[in-house]
Chains A and B, each alone.
Chain A
Amino acid sequence: MAAKTAEGIPLGSSGRHAVQPLPDRPRFGQPVSEAELAAWNIDIRTPDGRGLPAGRGSVAEGRQIYAAKCVACHGAEAKGGSVYGAMVGGIGSFKGSPRVLTPGSMYPYAPILFDYIRRSMPMDRPQTLSADEVYALSAYLLNLNGLVPAGAVMDADSLPKVQMPNRDGFIIDDRPDAKAVRCMTNCK
């Protein structure tokens, strides 16, 4: 195994398995079509939005859905509620401490909102929202973070085009970064 991926991500040491050799390679998997897997195939490749479904939702619609399904845990206008902290603000906070992590300040790509809301929210009934509802909630949260106007409508075309402030906020893993020395006597 190479020590790093093509992107430069450290892989650690190789640990290949010794597997019992068989004269006939067993094939126990059963063929399945992508159509049969459609309901499972929920991932969005977030930098370009590949996988975003048909549908659309506005900021105004998102406000209503939020009031019905989200506000109990996340609080009014996503400022933090009974269970979770704020989902607004924090943009510009990363040079200091504490850093305020919200979808607005942290997500490099807007389709992360769609992917995460659809797969995980609401916590008591995940994967029950329609595509239109998820687009609307994405639009509302982006609007609360000042990233789209109040009249915005999100869909497979518009959501990937929203420019997120932390888009270029990531570096590839450059560890090992510490260079400690194995001193044995009179070290300090």
Chain B
Amino acid sequence: MSNRPEHDSAARSRRVFLRKTAALAGGALAAGGAARAAPLPVPQTNREPGRTIEETAYGMPSKYEAHVRRRRTDVLKNRQNLSDWSMTPLQNQPGIITPNGLIFERHHAGTPDIDPQTHRLAVHGMVKQPLQFTMDDLVRYPSVSRFHFHECSGNGLTDWLKPASRTVQQTHGLLSGVLWTGVPASTLMEEAGIDPRGKWVLFEGADGSAHARSVPMEKVLDDTLIVYAMNGEALRPENGYPVRAVIPGWEGNVSVKWLRRIKVGDQPWYLRSETARYTDPMPDGKWRKFSMVMECKSVITSPSGGQTLKRPGFHEVTGLAWSGAGKIRAVDVSFDGGRNWREAMLEEPIMDKCLTRFKIGWNWNGAPAVLMSRAVDSTGYVQPTVQDLQKTRAIVGFVQHHNAIQPWAVNANGEVRNVIGQA
């Protein structure tokens, strides 16, 4: 099983090369019995020095990994790329942490480049003393680091009733795993002194959309972070540099990037981004509002759409599970389209509102199969099918909050494809 995407021609030619090489090796074995006909050659890299150490450098992945990239969707093409998104190559990600250069993007007016020396964060509204903070001020506070998943509420919105996306990057790539570092929002809020009537908090960005959302005070004081670092370095510009909100387990867009303002009020603001957008259609024509928690979900990342199983026999089936309502308790995997299920192994650490890696061995007999995963979280919630969700929701157009089971079909050639709505 290869982790490389099979949709680019380079990967395809590499696969053909590997098959030919394997055929040659097999021929040699047949001729020479257990012994190889020729010893493995000493690689050229053993016979020469490598590249010199640069005086200063920011390290980059191997040139042979250049195919591992974020990419925009192939399905829902916007006619501009300012209010748009790019997706994480989950098929290439081992473990539960997404490298900073691969964390998905969703902006409403592009990425600003903000000078941290001039940036200010204000806390005001229903507080005793409005305050402003420089970046120097923010990093002086006792810090907190937390691992959390980050997921766009629109993750999967192109693939509800029939397959439109080919790869897991396209079906589920508005998802990343990050170690966030910053200050608890409560530290700043309590310093300003919250008016007891203050029940809602507005977070607003310094970007060209001044993106803003209303968040209940309970969540802000519980585990919301004001974050300046991710995965051991400063935030990347596209992820909110120099400072952003992180609201763990909730839909990604409430974690406002390029944060410039926090305002306390006694009721929600009902902005465009919480009425006309980021609301969910109901069968009676109404819309579900403030649907914040990203519910329990999982997906098999390998094998996944666009990949190919090269031969029958043992394959490790692995993927990611997560829940905005708590921890992952179990993940089950089916190899027969959901008729029978086996419990997968969960790999430590298993953390609150965080990606959890699951793995299960599979002896593929070469016959067609349909693989799917189903997660259970610490509240006992079982990941539903699309049919389960259709009992209460209207799946019309590009609908948000898709946490249903994702099926992947493997054909007799080992080719894997998306069969949502068909399995």
Contact = CB atoms under 8 A, between A and B. Distances in A.
Q: Is B a genuine binding partner of A?
A: yes
Interface of A: 1-2, 5-7, 9-20, 22, 26-34, 37, 40-47, 82-84, 94-99, 101, 103, 106-109, 112, 115-116, 119-120, 123, 126-127, 166, 169-188
- Overall SS of chain A's interface: loop
B281 interface: yes
Interface in B338-392: 338-342, 352-353, 374, 376, 378-379, 381-385, 388-389, 391-392
Contacts of B248: 15
A12 B383 CA distance: 16
A109 B271 CA distance: 9
8 contacts: A11-B222, A12-B250, A16-B222, A19-B144, A30-B132, A37-B122, A84-B79, A166-B287
A112 B270 contact: yes
Contacts of A20: 142
B131 A9 contact: no
Contacts of B385: 180
Contacts of B129: 31
Interface in B184-215: 184, 187-188, 191-192, 199, 202, 204, 208-210, 212
A82 B79 contact: yes
Contacts of A174: 288
Interface of B: 79-80, 82-83, 108-109, 122-124, 129-134, 137-138, 140-142, 144, 146, 184, 187-188, 191-192, 199, 202, 204, 208-210, 212, 216, 218-219, 222-223, 225, 248-250, 260-261, 263, 265, 267, 269-272, 275-276, 279, 281-282, 284-293, 295, 324-327, 330, 332, 337-342, 352-353, 374, 376, 378-379, 381-385, 388-389, 391-394, 396-397
B285 A172 contact: no
Contact of A107 (B188, B272, B342, B391): B272
Residue picked from A6, A13, A33, A41, most chain B C-beta under 10 Å? A13
Residue picked from A40, A126, A179, A188, most chain B C-beta under 10 Å? A40
Given A43-B202, A180-B388, A187 B341 contact: yes
Given A40-B261, A108-B275, A179-B388, A13 B288 contact: no
B288 A183 contact: no
A134 B142 CA distance: 43
Contacts, number: 253
B208 A115 contact: no
A145 to B, nearest CB: 13
A43 B204 contact: yes
B275 A106 contact: yes
Given A46-B270, A94-B281, A94-B287, 7 more contacts: A13-B353, A43-B263, A99-B281, A120-B109, A179-B388, A182-B382, A188-B337
Given A112-B275, A119-B209, A13 B352 contact: yes
Contacts of B188: 29
Q: Which 9 A-B pairs have the closest CB atoms?
A: A29-B131, A15-B223, A178-B384, A94-B285, A119-B210, A13-B326, A97-B396, A177-B392, A20-B142
B147 to A, nearest CB: 11
A116 B304 CA distance: 40
Contacts of A40: 122, 260-261
Given A116-B272, A175-B295, A42 B287 contact: no
Contacts of A22: 142
Given A29-B132, A169-B287, A175 B293 contact: yes
Nearest to A102: B276
Contacts of A186: 339-340
Contact of A19 (B184, B192, B338): B184
Nearest to B330: A182
A77 B353 CA distance: 46
B276 A15 contact: no
Contacts of B199: 5-6
Contact of B79 (A29, A47, A83, A184): A83
Contact of B191 (A27, A32, A181, A185): A27
